[in-house]
């Protein structure tokens, strides 16, 4: 049931990256993600935000998981591939299209149990070579921390020219209606190579707030891409070894 307060949130905070090997390199910048109730997409729509059509901001189903304009159908088909079932609570964390442009390095579908505990992360990762893969991460609650959930998955796609295609991602998640914390650690041959953290607080999804986000991040797609290339140049000048994508790293998988 849709009420005066949307079922969606906006998480705004910071992205922090730190590379450990072979040379240290770190940076930090402001960032945001939409936190979407996948069963209530219609309430995203307003004067500047549309579903599957052009607007200042929009969400297009074909950008994520499948080829259908029906977002739930795409999710159902994806879950079936991982032998999972649709849960009564699912949240989708992503960047929208802005002026019809988008690049999502990572979007996250969160699955919850009946007690609203997160059970799985389905992490959709895109690279700059046209590749896309979805990692299914089963979550477990940390024994000494009731608010943190952890999981791991094998890396299976080229993302950075300075990392191998293989490795292991370890995820840490803290999520509620007020805050979102996602940490991803990359290991290659048991060596800790990278930490990436998104740490944020929420604000309600309202027309006023999404309008603020639009003007604050209207060049977000350009900035995501340009910052990535800028950091890549810095790493190249530090003399890091360059790796190249495989053929299947240039295709949309799953």
Q: pLDDT tens digits for 134-156?
A: 999 999 987 776 789 999 999 99
- As a whole number of Å, the CA-based R_g of the chain is 18
Structure tokens at 132: 């896309």
pTM of the entire predicted model: 0.90
Q: Where are the beta strands (DSSP E) in the chain?
A: 9-19, 25-37, 49-51, 57-59, 90-94, 97-98, 106-112, 118-126, 132-138, 140-142, 145-156, 166-175, 179-188, 191-204
Residues 21-71: tens digit of each pLDDT: 888 888 899 999 999 999 999 999 999 999 999 999 999 999 999 888 999
Q: What percent of the chain has pLDDT over 70?
A: 93
Q: What are the structure tokens assigned to 4, written together? A: 């005066």
């Amino acid at each position: 049931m849709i009420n005066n307060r949307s079922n969606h949130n906006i998480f705004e905070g910071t992205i922090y990256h730190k590379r450990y090997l072979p040379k240290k390199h770190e940076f930090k910048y402001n960032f945001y993600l939409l936190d979407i109730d996948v069963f209530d997409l219609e309430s995203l729509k307003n004067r500047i935000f549309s579903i599957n059509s052009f607007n200042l901001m929009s969400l297009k189903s074909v950008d994520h998981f499948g080829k259908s304009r029906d977002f739930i159908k795409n999710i159902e088909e994806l879950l079936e591939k991982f032998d999972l079932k649709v849960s009564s609570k699912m949240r989708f964390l992503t960047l929208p299209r802005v002026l019809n442009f988008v690049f999502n390095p990572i979007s996250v579908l969160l699955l919850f149990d009946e007690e609203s505990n997160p059970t799985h992360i389905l992490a959709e990762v895109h690279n700059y070579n046209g590749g896309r893969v979805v990692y299914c991460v089963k979550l477990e609650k940390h024994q000494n921390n009731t608010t943190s959930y952890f999981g791991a998955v094998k890396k299976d796609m080229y993302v950075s020219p300075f990392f191998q295609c293989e490795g292991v991602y370890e995820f840490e998640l803290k999520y509620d209606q007020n805050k979102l914390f996602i940490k991803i650690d990359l290991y290659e041959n048991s060596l800790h190579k990278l930490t990436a953290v998104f740490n944020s607080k929420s604000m309600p999804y309202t027309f006023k707030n999404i309008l603020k986000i639009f003007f604050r991040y209207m060049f977000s797609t350009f900035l995501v891409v340009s910052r990535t290339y800028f950091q890549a140049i810095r790493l190249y000048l530090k003399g890091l070894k360059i790796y190249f994508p495989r053929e299947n790293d240039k295709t949309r998988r799953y």
